[in-house]
């Protein structure tokens, strides 16, 4: 009777094989489910990244349309700019165009379609875009009307024309003032967007179905029209922004995200980011194949070992290894296994590998937690942490009514420093300046961050103009006291320029982080363009100044925005 009970599955070898199979099969099931989930997560992550890049780029590129509106609003108030087409009008527009390189041509068009004033033309000519003329004349003087993408008659380049109706109608009739945008400025719209992995970025006009500009793969479609493409239809149907998975302009399956840029009755511009779906999934598939290959190898090894060794040489050690692996799978990265040297080498190797993997996973987890909010070189807050902190401080400032200041700090002639002393010295320079910034932004709530490259940012909650100026001066002085040699600088030492912006909330809306950054960036540009190693600042509610009939500056009625001053000496921000 006892002999009949000796069934094959009761042997140690068979039991070990069945145990290994029973342990491995669920693992393969989980891996299969995880593979499908990995594909889904890869697509979701790519879609989020594409949407973020589209939003960031749209926010940056919208500035040129705001600049155009600001310029045209100023021109509306100048008496020289009218349907009469006085000679001084052309001279004024020529000076303005020379100082605002983002605009190729600026001019005035009468209601009869004749260009009466132009920065280049000195004889009247017929305006080439009748739809833009009629639409602008029908609009209010405060409406900024955008044309479709056209080829400029004077510049012979692809352009977008912005226009506004003049405020007052002269005896010569109604007229509009226009400025054509140099689209070459969109060529750098990708920024740090990775074009090497099947990605591209474009500016499109959804109403016309045309591609205005592009980078990466999108560059090949610039100037072409795709009126019936699903992308154009999606933008027209949901102009507030969105995402879709559909064939791209080139026919390949793509993930696409888009954000509105600017629109008018004639055009609807949007920033579009795309990524090749196959490229996105290939990385996840490679990882899955590698995981399956590793799992199959481990299973085969375990089965062979179970069949040839025995319970005391394999079953008990495998049980311990399985328990440790399950703990790691549950997130307990402190799990370790300790095996006797008398056990098979394969078991000892698997034990060491598991311990090493757990240690690496634990180390990677710590590193990822630090990298999420810290710049690896300077150990300051990184860009993500800066963006989150600035948005939060803007909201807090609105609730509390306290001022908020932002400083942008840029190392002067840093490329020349790198060229002269090498990148290692450049990294050391950035780290030493970062230490000084951390010391200067020492109050609770202050935040020093690496904004990008050799540029830093300091957020100063509850700090007004004067307080920000004190911190900025302290930064300038401490960097100067640092005394780092720089033979590429006029001062022969490393210096920085500081641009500051202060928002003093008091209205119904919180100060926009993008506005604060833009104003600080303008101030930084002024500091660098007027000699460097200095501090310039902006207020978030500065007033627009214009030239009156006597050539004197006066406030523009009812306007508060990014402050542009047009004077006899040219244009500048005050």
Name the helix (H) or strand (E) containing 544: strand 543-547
On whether the CB atoms of residues 163 and 178 are closer than 8 A, the answer is: yes
Angle at which helix 277-308 crosses helix 345-371, to 10 degrees, equals: 150
Tokens coding 531:
């000699």
On whether the CB atoms of residues 83 and 71 are closer than 8 A, the answer is: no
416 in helix, strand or coil? helix
On whether the CB atoms of residues 490 and 412 are closer than 8 A, the answer is: no
Nearest Cα neighbor of 92 from 71, 68, 109, 62 is 71
Instruction: Please provide the distance, in angstroms rounded to a whole number, between the alpha carbons at the two ends of the chain.
Output: 104
Nearest Cα neighbor of 521 from 545, 538, 503 is 538
Name the helix (H) or strand (E) containing 457: strand 455-461
Sign of the alpha-carbon torsion through 486, 491, 494, 500? negative
Longest Cα separation, the chain: 122
535-539 and 496-503 strand pairing: parallel
On whether the CB atoms of residues 492 and 379 are closer than 8 A, the answer is: no
On whether the CB atoms of residues 291 and 306 are closer than 8 A, the answer is: no
Q: What is d(CA 178, CA 75) in angstroms, rounded to the nearest whole number?
A: 10
Residue carrying structure tokens 């005050």: 574
DSSP letter assigned to residue 512: P
Nearest Cα neighbor of 339 from 328, 350, 329 is 350
Helices within 408-563 (DSSP H only): 414-421, 423-440, 465-482, 513-529
* CA 241, chain centre distance (Å): 16
Tokens coding 50:
């594409």
Our answer to whether residue 3 is catalytic in this structure is: no
On whether the CB atoms of residues 201 and 212 are closer than 8 A, the answer is: no
Q: What is d(CA 307, CA 316) in angstroms, rounded to the nearest whole number?
A: 14
Q: Which residues contact 74 (CB under 8 A, 6 or more apart)?
A: 544, 546, 556, 564, 566
Question: Of 454, 455, 522, 526, which residue is the catalytic one?
Answer: 454
DSSP letter assigned to residue 20: H
On whether the CB atoms of residues 337 and 351 are closer than 8 A, the answer is: yes
Question: Is 423 exposed, middle or buried (CB count within 10 Å of its CB: 0-12, 13-18, 19+)?
Answer: exposed
Q: How many CB atoms lie within 10 A of CB 550?
A: 6
CA distances from 401 to 101, 508, 509, 511, 512 (A): 38, 11, 11, 11, 14
Return the half-sphere exposure (C-beta side, CA atoms, 13 A cut-off) of residue 180. 26
Residues designated catalytic: 454
């Amino acid at each position: 009777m006892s002999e009949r009970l000796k069934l094959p599955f009761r042997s140690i070898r068979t039991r070990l094989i069945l145990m290994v199979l029973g342990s491995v099969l669920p693992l393969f099931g989980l891996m299969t489910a995880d593979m499908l989930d990995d594909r889904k997560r890869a697509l979701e992550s790519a879609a989020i990244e594409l949407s973020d890049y589209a939003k960031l780029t749209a926010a940056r590129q919208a500035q040129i349309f705001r600049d155009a509106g600001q310029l045209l609003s100023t021109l509306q108030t100048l008496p020289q700019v009218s349907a009469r087409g006085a000679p001084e009008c052309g001279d004024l527009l020529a000076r303005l165009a020379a100082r605002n390189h983002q605009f190729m041509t600026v001019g005035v068009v009468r209601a009869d379609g004749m260009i009466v004033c132009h920065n280049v033309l000195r004889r009247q000519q017929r305006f080439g875009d009748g739809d833009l003329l009629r639409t602008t004349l029908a609009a209010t003087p405060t409406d900024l009307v955008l044309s479709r993408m056209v080829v400029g008659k004077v510049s012979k380049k692809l352009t977008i024309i912005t226009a506004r109706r003049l405020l007052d109608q002269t005896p010569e009739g109604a007229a509009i003032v226009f400025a054509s945008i140099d689209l070459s400025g969109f060529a750098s719209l990708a920024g740090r967007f990775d074009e090497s992995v099947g990605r591209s970025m474009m500016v499109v006009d959804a109403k016309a179905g045309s591609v205005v500009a592009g980078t990466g793969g999108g560059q090949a479609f610039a100037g072409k029209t795709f009126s019936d493409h699903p992308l154009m239809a999606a933008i027209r149907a949901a102009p507030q922004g969105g995402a879709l998975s559909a064939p791209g302009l080139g026919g390949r399956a793509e993930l696409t995200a888009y954000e509105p840029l600017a629109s008018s009755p004639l055009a609807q511009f949007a920033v579009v980011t795309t990524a090749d779906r196959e490229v996105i999934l290939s990385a996840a598939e490679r990882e899955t194949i590698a995981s399956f290959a590793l799992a199959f190898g481990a299973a085969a090894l375990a089965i062979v070992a179970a069949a040839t060794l025995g319970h005391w040489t394999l079953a008990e050690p495998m049980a311990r290894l399985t328990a440790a692996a399950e703990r790691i799978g549950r997130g307990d990265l402190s799990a370790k296994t300790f095996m006797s040297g008398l056990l098979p080498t394969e078991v000892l190797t698997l034990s060491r590998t598991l311990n090493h993997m757990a240690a690496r996973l634990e180390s990677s987890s710590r590193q990822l937690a630090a990298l999420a909010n810290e710049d690896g070189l300077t150990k300051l807050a990184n860009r993500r942490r800066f963006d989150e902190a600035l948005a939060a401080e803007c909201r807090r400032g609105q609730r509390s009514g306290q001022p908020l200041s932002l400083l942008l700090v840029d190392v002067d002639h840093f490329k020349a420093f790198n060229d002269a002393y090498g990148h290692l010295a450049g990294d050391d320079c950035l780290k030493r300046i970062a230490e000084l910034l951390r010391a200067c932004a020492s109050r609770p709530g202050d935040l020093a961050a690496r904004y990008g490259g050799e540029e830093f940012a300091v957020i100063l909650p509850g700090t007004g103009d004067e307080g920000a100026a004190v911190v900025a001066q302290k930064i300038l002085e401490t960097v100067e006291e640092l005394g780092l040699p720089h033979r590429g600088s006029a001062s022969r030492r490393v210096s920085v320029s500081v641009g500051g912006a202060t928002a003093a909330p008091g209205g119904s809306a919180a100060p926009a982080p993008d506005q604060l950054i833009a104003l600080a960036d303008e101030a930084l540009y002024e500091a660098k363009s007027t000699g460097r190693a200095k501090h310039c600042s902006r207020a978030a509610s500065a007033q627009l100044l214009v030239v009156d009939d006597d050539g004197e500056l006066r406030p523009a009625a009812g306007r508060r925005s990014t402050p542009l001053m047009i004077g006899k000496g040219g244009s500048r921000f005050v």
